[in-house]
Amino acid sequence: MVMPEDPVMLLSFVNMKLRDFYGSLDALCEECGVDKARLVEKLKKIDYVYDEERNQFV
């Protein structure tokens, strides 16, 4: 799956996918072939971290 390169667009895209299709970040990354560590680091650069309880980046 091709994900947006822009961090803000990526945030919106990932949170939408988590909300609508995936029960966890691990499930999203596994099914879409995304490097979880790279994704988390990219969103951390704009001060967002994954909240497992809410299943979204906040």
Contact 14, 57 (CB under 8 A): yes
57: in domain? no
**Cβ atoms of residues 55 and 23 within 8 Å:** yes
pLDDT tops 90 at residue 12: yes
Q: How many domains does the chain have?
A: 1
Q: What is the pLDDT of residue 24?
A: 98
Q: In this predicted structure, what is the pLDDT of residue 1?
A: 80
Domain residue limits at 25:
7-49
Asked if residue 30 is part of any domain, the answer here is yes
Q: What is the pLDDT of residues 23-46, one digit of tens each?
A: 999 999 999 999 999 999 999 999
The answer as to whether 37 is a domain residue is yes
Report yes or no on 2 lying in a domain: no
